[in-house]
Amino acid sequence: MANFMETVKVNDLVTTWVEEHAADLIKWSTDIWNYAELGLEEYQSSKLLAEQLAKAGFTIEMGVADMPTAFVASWGTGKPVIGILGEYDALPGLSQKLVPEKKPIIPEGSGHGCGHNIYGVAAAGGAIAAKEWLEKEGIPGTIKFYGCPAEETLVGKVFMAREGIFDDADICLTWHPGSVNTIWSSSSLAMNSVKFNFYGKSSHAAANPEAGRSALKAVQLMDIGVNFLREHLIDPIRIHSTITNGGGGPNVVPDKAQIWYYIRAPHRSEVEETYDKLINIAKGAALMTGTEYDIDFITGCYEMLPNKILGEVLLNNMKKVGAPDFDQQDMKLAKELTDSFDPGMKELVVKTSGASSKLIEQLLHEEVVEPFDEGKSMSGSTDVADVSWNVPTAQFTTACAPIGTPGHSWQNVVAVGSSIGQKGMLSAAKILGLSVVELMLDADLITKANEEFINEIKQKGEYISPLPEDLKPPVPVKVKEMK
């Protein structure tokens, strides 16, 4: 429960703006929840946010970095330049009605299983709220809202970083919907997403197998090679795959086959080394089967460098704003959603996050806690990491779903479409807005954040885009033609 006196203390223009515009922000997030557009297809979602930012006086540059749904919204003049990152893409197969049982709106349709509907809106709301205050006070400085598409496929920010979109920002702030109110202090796994294509020769599998060269056998041998490699890799490295083309009928030797790998590791250099090993295995598989291969490099990303100075700014403002104020109705929904989890799931999610096991007894998180993941690496990847290698970056989470809600689940879609997620979103908008204001007023904090960043880059090496120079963002052709 938010402390009343603390709420009054920070009840300045930023928090008032968010409170007065709560109905608008909720409407925007509901619209984006309903659009549920997949990565690089977020035409309505990006348009909604860009239009609202434009209405508030921001200048919009649409379609940056060769992605029609990526944009930059800027307001103000001169230094410092403070960036806020926003996301708005949905996930396939997670279409879900706002009911506490699994019921899709559209079978196999998409849904906001990661809460990016409230992610983008809180970020835009925070940017507008901070702008209102700067404008009124006549404080110089620039706010930039970065509209980042396709986070789920780790595409948007990596391609934007390659184009230098974040280069003029002094710092970047962001958040992510979660189930606890705290700073996100952990790193994340660096990653490559790569498809290996094998090309053989088809023949009748019974009549003339000797004339055929099986591309599928090459895929199978490659996967066996990769599985033998695992023993010789450090433990946190994760390699997972799907066979995206295994040929047609068993009576035709397949002349084409494809396997898609995600290679993840705590450091970018370890991803690169492991990737080189996979290329050697592909060469071996091709040699063994008399086939040829090539590679579709889909995307790659770095590991997150969380900036501690900025993390402290976010945490202080988070304490001022307080946890979202949930009511009986929120608790009822949280209980229904929690009851639908698989046995042991809540315990597993809390344990994996590193949070206190005491949280398991609670339904919704109603306090702000110190970070519990410092020095750790979360077992997933995010393209926010690629921003963090270019400009000092920090992020936080607010409670937008019941404690222990699995990520990318239908329960999460319900939570972030309901008042639980909406309350977490309004808190996040206030925290972002207040943090922008604090940093605009304290040049010293920005200098310190940059010193920390420069030190870290000195130790770890400069950012080199993981993407091949000539690689274009994978904008779906069908969508491009339609719009």
Chain residues in the site for Zn ion (CB under 5 A): 114
What 8-state DSSP symbol labels residue 21?
A: T
Amino acid type, 100: P
**CB-wise, 14 or 91, nearer to Zn ion?**
91
**CB-wise, 80 or 402, nearer to Zn ion?**
402
**CB-wise, 56 or 114, nearer to Zn ion?**
114
- CB-based burial of residue 444 (10 Å sphere; 0-12 exposed, 13-18 middle, 19+ buried)? exposed
**CB-wise, 114 or 426, nearer to Zn ion?**
114
Q: How far is the CB of 474 from Zn ion (least distance, A)?
A: 17
What tokens appear for 164 in the block? 């230098």
Q: How far is the CB of 13 from Zn ion (least distance, A)?
A: 30
| Main-chain dihedrals φ then ψ at residue 57, nearest 5 degrees | 105, 0
**CB-wise, 114 or 215, nearer to Zn ion?**
114
Of 319, 300, 441, which is closest to residue 383 (Cα–Cα)?
300
Q: How far is the CB of 381 from Zn ion (least distance, A)?
A: 10
Closest residue to Zn ion in the complex (CB): 114
- CB-based burial of residue 458 (10 Å sphere; 0-12 exposed, 13-18 middle, 19+ buried)? exposed
Q: Is 5 helix (H, G, I), strand (E, B) or coil?
A: helix
Q: How far is the CB of 190 from Zn ion (least distance, A)?
A: 17
**CB-wise, 53 or 114, nearer to Zn ion?**
114
**CB-wise, 114 or 337, nearer to Zn ion?**
114
Q: How far is the CB of 191 from Zn ion (least distance, A)?
A: 13
Q: How far is the CB of 319 from Zn ion (least distance, A)?
A: 24
Q: Is 187 helix (H, G, I), strand (E, B) or coil?
A: strand
Q: How far is the CB of 294 from Zn ion (least distance, A)?
A: 30
Of 386, 381, 313, which is closest to residue 166 (Cα–Cα)?
386
- CA–CA–CA angle 260, 264, 265 (5° rounding): 155
- CB-based burial of residue 338 (10 Å sphere; 0-12 exposed, 13-18 middle, 19+ buried)? buried
